[in-house]
Structure formats: C-alpha cells, structure tokens
Structure 1
Amino acid sequence: MLKLENKVAIITGGGSGIGRAISELFASEGAYVHILDLNTEGAADVVKTIESRGGTARVHACNVGNQQEVVEIVQAIGQVDILVNNAGIAHVGNLEKCGEEDFERVFQVNVKGAYNALYAAIPAMKANGGGAILNLASIAAVVGIADRFAYSMSKGAIYAMSMSIARDYMADNIRSNSISPARVHTPFVDGFIAKNYPGQEAEMFEKLSKSQPIGRMATPEEIAKLALFLCSDDAGFITGNDYPIDGGFIKLNN
C-alpha cells in the first residue's frame, strides 16, 4: 500500500533541490502534489517527471511572501492533508554585512512565506479532520554558523513556529514537525559556491562536504525520505519535534 495514497500535499519551493526530491517521492507514494513556486519552469519539469512515472501533480505560480496569493491558491485546492514548507533563500554575511534589504528579503521568503502557508493551510486541515505539517529548518537554528546571520534568524523562527503550531493544534489532529538538515548537495549549493567563491569551487565543495563528520553532504533524496516518514501515518504519534539530518554535525563535530 502506498504511504500517501489519496493524500493532497502542498510543497512550497518544490521546483528544485530538496523540494523537488520531496515532490517526486510523495507523488510516487500516491499523493496529489501541488507545487507552489516562483520557478514555474523548474516546477513544470518536476510535474512532467512525476506524470511520466504515473503520478499526479500541479504547478501553482506563487510568491509565498504574498499572503493573498497563497490563501487564494490553497482555497482553490480545497483539501489539504500535508503541507511542506520548503521554500527558502540564503544570505552570506554577519550582522554588519546584513543590510536592511538583505534581512527583509530573507524574512519575506523564509519566515513570512512559511507563516503564509500555515495561515492558509491550517483552516483547510481543520475542515478536513487533521493533517501533517513539515517545516524545513536547519542546523543553523540550533548552532552558530559563521556568516549566516539572516539565514540563522529565519531558520530559528521556522523551528519555533513548528513547535507553536504543534502545541496549538493537537486537538485538531494536526501534527507539526521540523527537520534540520546540514549541508545538502543541490544545484543551489553549486550556484552558491560559484557565486561566492569563484575559482575556488572544488576546494570549497570539499571543505563544506567535510564539515559534516560523516564526510559528505546529504543528498536531496535522503532528506525526502525523512520527510515522507514524518508526513505519513507511520509517524502518527510524532508531533512537536525537530529532527536533525546532519551527518553528525550538531553532536559529533568535536
């Protein structure tokens, strides 16, 4: 039996990287996947892949920082069983190198975007008798990462919102958890390295890979498998938790 059969899943930022892996895996397990993403070209490619494998998915062009857009899309979808808040952006710099525009940009996507999706999805889940929420936090929410002031702020907020939602909506049969990846090898990482460390790509990739005690970055598919478990009925007794998926980064980096 498929783990998400007859479930409707909303995945923000599902057009690339971790979001793509989650979208494809959830669809393969029977979910009707709705991808909310500004990157409609990438999201359309994901849908094409899903449909070629016999799954069902749809793209919704959406700026998650715009509450009206998110609410209208979720209301049009109707049934919502699963919400994965994955959309996010990064910023490199400490406090002094984080201008107001940088801070606002990260906040709008990472924090307000998750809030908007939660704001829209929870009434639908309550009407549907419950649901599962998974928010993508980060190791940056719980440990100090150099030059990630704004990003760490946003992921700390994701962690806190996840716990608050879990506490407030238990009676509505809504579960809320977060996962905190360390570095994951995605096209975003490759682009980040190329932009910030031109001419040092191989060296920086090796350095970032080895910052995990396990000696490598995670794959998006590994993150997706944990996401699948936490959003499935197999995790029916799990709520209000954060799960590091970090190659030992938090506890073994000594």
Structure 2
Amino acid sequence: MSRPKSIVIFGGARGIGAAVARRFAASDFRVYIADVLETEGNALVRELGEDRASFTICDVARADDISAVFDLAVAESGGIDVVFNNVGIARYGEVDRLDLEDWELTLRVNLTAQFLSCKRAVAEMKKTGGGVIINTASILGHASQKTTAAYAASKAGVMALTRTVAIDHAKDNIRCVSISPGTIDTPLVQIAAQTFEGRDPQDLRREWADHHPLRRLGRPQEVAETVFFLASEGAAFITGSDILIDGGIRSELYAEKPGEPAQ
C-alpha cells in the first residue's frame, strides 16, 4: 500500500501559505502547516479537516522548531513529497541606519531558515526517491527598493540557494525551484497599507496595484496554482529556476502613470 503524498508548508497559516495548503489538501495531500500564528493555523486545520491537515507552532529562527515539523511529518506520513518554504520578514532602513541585529534577524528568518529546511528536506527525500522543494524569493531579489537592503539581499540569496540545491541534488531526483511574487493581496499587504499615517489604506492598495502592468494586486490563489504546478509532474523539467509571479512589474523599465500615454 502506497503512502499518502505529503507537503510541509512553513508560513502556512494565512495568505499565500494558506492558499497553498487549501490547493494541496483539495488534491488529497496530507498538509503539515508550520507557523507562529497559532489561532490562524488551528482555524485552517479545522477548515481543511484533521484527516488532511495538522498545525505545528514553528518559529523558523529556531532550528529545533524546523526539525520538529519534519519529525512529525515523517513519523505520520513516512516521507515528504513537497516542501514549501514561505516565511519572510522585513526590517527597513538605509544601509547606514540599519541595525546589525535587524540585518542578522532578516537573514536568519528569510535565508538561513530556508537553508535548514532544504537541508532536512533533501535528507528525507533521498530516503523515498525524490521530491520537490519550492522556496519563496521575491521581486525584490531581482530589483531593489530604498531601505530594503536586508530583505532584498536575503531574497537574492534564496534564489542562489535554490540554484545550488537544484544542481547538487538533481542526481537524487530532487527538484528545487523558487518563486518571486510581486505584490500579492495578503493580510500582510493590508497591514502594511494601514501603517502609513495620513493615507487611506484602500488608496494605497490601488496605488500599489497600478505599479503592475496588469493594474491589480496578485491573488494568493494564483500563487498557489503556480506552486501546485511546480510540484507536479507537469513541471518535471523545471529545476533551479526562479518563477516570477509579478503581474509584469519586472518587465517594465519605466512605468507611465495609469491612463497616461507612453512617451
């Protein structure tokens, strides 16, 4: 009797991670959700059903927490088919004002945690004949913005890590791919819009949407469909690549204002 397919999702309690959990659960995967958001994580398990999903509190800045998630998934499912690393934080500041502690924490959560997850995922996937690792980079790994040195560096590092995992472990039938979302309409984006004093959050969200050639924000479900495809046999010849899910924002060098003709 074959074991059920399984996916581990770090940062799976809401937003993109939750959309990915729903997509894989709908395709009969056993879903292991890891996050610091206990209320949201447990609510998602109730929605998906305890026969298809479980939640573990996990702070990816702690190596032991990452190990505990893998331990549970392997013990229950006998192996892991897909790992989706989707945790990220941002600490802002121009380089001369950015604290070393903020720099180190950002790299610890955004890059080192993905390395530790990849390391354990590779070890487990070798035992079962292969698997797929999908890491979350960012559009800011391709083109930066002011005050984002730590975040942009960490996400560029994720893409480099992904390429190296892919070439190191192709021989083990393990694929590794990264995704680079643009601005996706998640709770984090909504929270960010509320932090600008004197600006209407809805106006800000519309402004951010208009930066994308498609003139809207991305939807978590759209990212989830891409992740599901990358984990499927349909993507069996894709490894080491970074997939942009950015509404075209990286394609346009100079964006005209909405409604204004290009020069």
TM-score (normalizing by structure 2): 0.90
Task: Say which SS state the counterpart of residue 178 (structure 2) adopts.
Answer: strand
Aligned to 1:67: 63
Contact 2:166 2:240 in 1 (8 A): yes
Aligned ranges 1:21-100 → 2 under 5 Å: 21-51=19-49, 56-78=52-74, 79-100=79-100
Residues 108-153 of structure 1: CA distance to partner in whole angstroms, max 9, x if unpaired? 2111211121122111000010000100111111112222111101
Contact 2:106 2:150 in 1 (8 A): yes
Residues 165-206 of structure 1: CA distance to partner in whole angstroms, max 9, x if unpaired? 0000000000000111110011101111212x1231233222
Deviation at 1:252, TM superposition (A): 2.4
Partners of 1:103 and 1:49 lie apart in 2 by 37
Tell me the matched-pair count.
247
Q: Does 1:154 align with 2:154?
A: yes
Deviation at 1:245, TM superposition (A): 0.8
**Which residue identity is paired with 1:70?**
I
**Which residue identity is paired with 2:116?**
N
Contact 2:85 2:114 in 1 (8 A): yes
Residues 205-229 of structure 1: CA distance to partner in whole angstroms, max 9, x if unpaired? 2221111111111010111000000
Partners of 1:212 and 1:233 lie apart in 2 by 31
Higher mean alpha-carbon deviation, 66-75 vs 32-41, is at 66-75
Partners of 1:173 and 1:228 lie apart in 2 by 18
Deviation at 1:93, TM superposition (A): 2.6
Partners of 1:198 and 1:29 lie apart in 2 by 43
Task: Say which SS state the counterpart of residue 95 (structure 1) adopts.
Answer: coil
Deviation at 1:253, TM superposition (A): 4.2
Aligned to 2:16: 18
Aligned to 2:260: none
Change (3 A) 1:209 1:97: farther
Q: Does 1:118 align with 2:118?
A: yes
Higher mean alpha-carbon deviation, 96-105 vs 230-239, is at 96-105
Contact 2:20 2:224 in 1 (8 A): yes
Aligned ranges 1:160-179 → 2 under 5 Å: 160-179=160-179
Aligned ranges 1:219-230 → 2 under 5 Å: 219-230=219-230
Task: Say which SS state the counterpart of residue 60 (structure 1) adopts.
Answer: strand
Partners of 1:212 and 1:103 lie apart in 2 by 28
Question: Any unmatched runs of 5+ in structure 2?
Answer: 255-263
Partners of 2:252 and 2:154 lie apart in 1 by 24
Question: Any unmatched runs of 5+ in structure 1?
Answer: none
Q: Does 1:198 align with 2:197?
A: yes
